[in-house]
Amino acid sequence: MYSKEMFAKMDIVGQFNLGFLIAKLNSDLFIIDQHASEEKYHFERLQEHSVLQGQKLISSCNPKSEASFFANEQNLGFWSTRDRRLIFMGSDGPGVKRRPSRVRQRFASGACRKSVMVGRALNAHEMKKVIVHMGETEHPWNCPHGRPTMRHRANLDLISQE
């Protein structure tokens, strides 16, 4: 239905309530959450470009304690020196770099703080930048916290016929 390529083709209509962008693509009208959209863009950049240093935490376990360790998913992101496998890492889905859930939470918080906040007026250039960045993300449809970045509001052809 919608593709990432459509964002670059959108025209800016304006800003609503200092938190939402109104954009138009052909006869379709969209409302875009300016904060959630920027947050997703910054989050994906952090995921892609941040390099994490591993830390060995278990040196030699007996088989019983190692089995217990691997069965407990609360020990997220720890490495075993025995076979160096990662116990559990959260992911947004296919094609997304897998990270431990704590790291993902930190990236989401960092992305949130870097993003334009609700209540800030944006000029036309800043609005266009937010929308173009959506097309540069792998999964532009939701912010890292799950909030939708965009909603289709109306088809202007259908409204004008009524």
pLDDT for 46 equals: 87
Percent of the chain with pLDDT over 90: 44
| Among 8, 21, 10, CA closest to 123 | 21
Q: Which residue has the higher pLDDT, 144 or 94?
A: 144
Q: Which residue has the higher pLDDT, 76 or 4?
A: 4
Per-residue confidence (pLDDT) for residue 57, from 0 to 100: 57
What are the φ/ψ torsions at residue 28 (nearest 5 degrees)? -95, 135
Amino acid at 82: R
CATH H-level, domain 1-52+117-162: superfamily: MutL, C-terminal domain, dimerisation subdomain (3.30.1540.20)
Collapsing DSSP states into helix, strand and coil, what is residue 103? helix
The answer to whether residue 68 scores a pLDDT higher than 90 is no
Cα distance between residue 114 and residue 145, in whole Å: 15
Mean pLDDT of 96-120: 83
32 Cα distance to chain centroid: 14
Asked if 55 contacts 79 with a C-beta cutoff of 8 angstroms, the reply is yes
Cα gap 154→162, rounded to integer Å: 13
Each residue's pLDDT tens digit, 17-53: 999 999 999 999 999 999 999 999 999 998 888 777 7
> Which pLDDT does position 107 carry in this prediction?
87
Looking at 24-76, list the stretches that DSSP marks H as alpha helix, in order from N- to C-terminal side: 34-49, 63-71
C-alpha distances (whole Å) from 42 to each of 12, 17, 78, 122 are 21, 23, 26, 18
At CA 92, angle to CA 86 and CA 97, rounded to 5? 50
Which residues belong to CATH 3.30.1540.20 in the chain?
Answer: 1-52+117-162
Closest to 147 in 3D by CA, of 48, 37, 21 = 37
What is the model's pLDDT at position 119? 92
Selection from 120, 118, 144, 150 nearest residue 41 by Cα: 144
